[in-house]
Amino acid sequence: MSLQTRRTRWRRLVFNPITIKELRATFRQRRFLIVYWVSLAVYSLVVLWLAAIEVGHETQATGGPVGQRLFNYCVAAQLAIVVFVLPGFAATAVTDERENQSFDLLITTALRAFDIVWGKFLACMGYAFLFLSATLPLVCVSVLFTGVRPGEILFAYAVMGMIAAMMTAIGLATSATGRSSRRSVAVTYALALLSCMGWASLVYRLRQAMPSSYPKMNLVGYYYDLVFHQGLASTLWAAVVPLVFWGIFLALLFIVSVDRLKPTTANKSTSLRILGLVAAVTILVALAVEFLTTGVSLVECAERGLVALVMESGLLAIYLVGAAAEDPRLSRRIQWQYQWASRIRWPLRIVLPGSQSGLVYVILVAALLLLGTSGVLYLALDSKSPPSGGTATLPGITQCREAVVWTAAILGAMIWCYAALARWCSTVFSGSVYARTLVIFAFVMANLIPVCLMTLTDQTILGTRSPEHEHPSTVWNLHYTSAFLTLRSAWDMAGFWPLPDRGIFRSKLVLQAGPINEPVALISFAFHLGAAGILTALGAWRQRRVIRPRLKILYPPAGNAQPHLASPAFMQGRS
């Protein structure tokens, strides 16, 4: 790549032609001017009215920190503008191009899909900057009433900028995936309401954790002190970790938007897989800091560890099984990328599209997360003292260790099994939709049928009888295929039971069939490992016998070998 090409790309990031086009077109519209002036008028009236009320209360009563309350009102009003006004511009950024029949002309230009999405994003962030900068004078009025530090204002604007970027990315993702402006706007505002519910819960927890030395309304000041004035650990959890996860979520939405604008033969998997590796490492580091630095009890540490393992497995099942279900019938463009990733660059094939590399990617990331989390929990449990109540009533370190190890092993075997099923289905069916649908159906049935059979055949689980009076499991009621029943058996086998001791799903969960008399957890682990091995072998056989002859560029027939990308024959053919 020449120096001039690099300069052009960097210049396009800042002076994007799509951004200039969008800003010119939007600023000429009457709708934008009406929304802009009406929003600012409503914001100014509300803030001035609340300021008059607060000043009246201060002169009549106690003389409290009116500046802090007024500042919080201003921040809340600005967040309302960012959440409910800004998404309307981002949600129609791509759908307007389709409805105006200018999208085909746009994608035939020299601009990449990344340049188009980045230009739309910068334009929407320009609108957000315009709204937030126009409200700055009223926010600075709160400084005149004292009680607000200038750093709090800058911090609040930085947080609102992050929220504006996230709402813009959500709007762009829905606009890129939607087919009409009305539908994308409706979905964007629905997601905005869901995000508001999440932020409201965070604000509630923040107020509950706020010490009594802070005024009730000084939420921004309290969070500002957590980030800058409470030590390194507080800065890590209040600033670094949220900032990293915000960046990962923003990158995910951006990648989804870019992939929707790419042609069907393009590579749409590499960016997602690299982001998945970054997210896995980030989650592992955050869990290591959490479990190795906090001083919780032994039982609470084990319970948190089991919850972390189960949540990681849920994310792996949603995100990674889709990688194993990708279509192995690669396009010519992707086959050239596979040829490029050869010899010393061969490990880079793990992030290229295809179900074969997707299965390896699933196993690698699952091993990284589950084994890493288990190791962190193992070290954290070693540093805890045994419970004071005695091992007769409370679990000890050994029981907690066994529960963590069995949970990680069983969940890892299940993830491998369903990923191998997705990989085999992708070689049988044409297209990834059918493979993913079949995997979801198999997972639901494998977890629903055992519970239904247990409820129909063993009514004592609905009562309060002890487990000794309940029926054991058999081969035919499929208890070993259910994730919940398998984990319940593993925890009971390890002597650590974090759930209520009575109610539904109470059973001996010991499989008795002929010479077999073992806990369901052992049978489930062996069953999923065996199924994973068989499905992996079947997928590899289908890949070699059915899929490989179709990849004529990556695997050319004998006597018709294609020149390598770096060979002189290939370079001479290009010239």
- Three-state secondary structure readout of 497-565: CCCCCCCCCCCCCEEEECCEEEEHHHHHHHHHHHHHHHHHHHHHHHHHHHHHHHCCCCCCCCCCCCCCC
The reported pLDDT for the residue numbered 423 is 93
Amino acid at 564: H
Give the position of tokens 């930085």.
Answer: 158
Give the position of tokens 């951004």.
Answer: 19
Q: What is the mean pLDDT of residues 56-79?
A: 68
The reported pLDDT for the residue numbered 408 is 92
pLDDT over threshold 80, residue 258: yes
pLDDT over threshold 50, residue 435: yes
The reported pLDDT for the residue numbered 534 is 96
Q: What is the mean pLDDT of residues 468-493?
A: 78
SS3 of residue 475 by DSSP: coil
Q: What is the 3-state secondary structure (H, E, C) of 73-127?
A: HHHHHHHHHHHHCHHHHHCCCCHHHHHCCCHHHHHCCCCCHHHHHHHHHHHHHHH
More confident residue, 575 or 550: 550
SS3 of residue 416 by DSSP: helix
Among 1, 3, 9, residue whose Cα is nearest residue 114: 9
How would residue 59 be classed by pLDDT, with cut points 50, 70 and 90? Answer: very low
pLDDT over threshold 90, residue 58: no
Q: How far separated are the first and last CA of the chain, in Å rounded?
A: 17
Q: What is the mean pLDDT of residues 56-84?
A: 71
If you compute the radius of gyration of the chain from its CA atoms, what whole number of angstroms results?
29
Q: What is the mean pLDDT of residues 427-447?
A: 88
pLDDT over threshold 90, residue 527: yes
SS3 of residue 28 by DSSP: coil
More confident residue, 264 or 215: 264
Rounded Cα gap, residues 108 and 62, in angstroms: 67
The reported pLDDT for the residue numbered 573 is 41
Q: Which two tokens stand for residue 407?
A: 């949970």
Q: What is the mean pLDDT of residues 13-34?
A: 81
pLDDT over threshold 50, residue 468: no
Q: What is the mean pLDDT of residues 356-367?
A: 92
Beta-carbon-side half-sphere exposure of residue 91 (alpha carbons within 13 Å) = 20
pLDDT over threshold 90, residue 538: yes
pLDDT over threshold 50, residue 399: yes
146: β partners: none
What does pLDDT average to over the chain? 81
The reported pLDDT for the residue numbered 391 is 46
Q: What percent of the chain has pLDDT over 90?
A: 18
How would residue 504 be classed by pLDDT, with cut points 50, 70 and 90? Answer: low
How would residue 499 be classed by pLDDT, with cut points 50, 70 and 90? Answer: low
Least confident of 157-161, 275-279, 491-495: 491-495
pLDDT over threshold 50, residue 464: no
Query: Under a CB-based contact definition with an 8 Å cutoff, are residues 539 and 423 in contact?
Result: yes
The total number of residues written for the chain in this structure: 575
Q: What percent of the chain has pLDDT over 70?
A: 84
Among 369, 372, 377, residue whose Cα is nearest residue 277: 369
DSSP state of 241: H
pLDDT over threshold 80, residue 128: yes
pLDDT over threshold 80, residue 429: yes
The reported pLDDT for the residue numbered 43 is 80
How would residue 568 be classed by pLDDT, with cut points 50, 70 and 90? Answer: very low
Among 86, 82, 84, 57, residue whose Cα is nearest residue 70: 57
Least confident of 304-308, 354-358, 554-558: 554-558
Tens-digit pLDDT profile for residues 29-56:
787 788 888 888 888 888 778 777 766 6
Among 376, 448, 370, residue whose Cα is nearest residue 411: 370
Tens-digit pLDDT profile for residues 440-456:
999 999 988 887 777 76
pLDDT over threshold 90, residue 485: no
Tens-digit pLDDT profile for residues 156-197:
899 899 999 999 999 999 999 888 888 888 898 888 888 888
Domain range summary for the chain, segments of one domain joined by +: 9-229
The reported pLDDT for the residue numbered 572 is 40
The reported pLDDT for the residue numbered 370 is 92
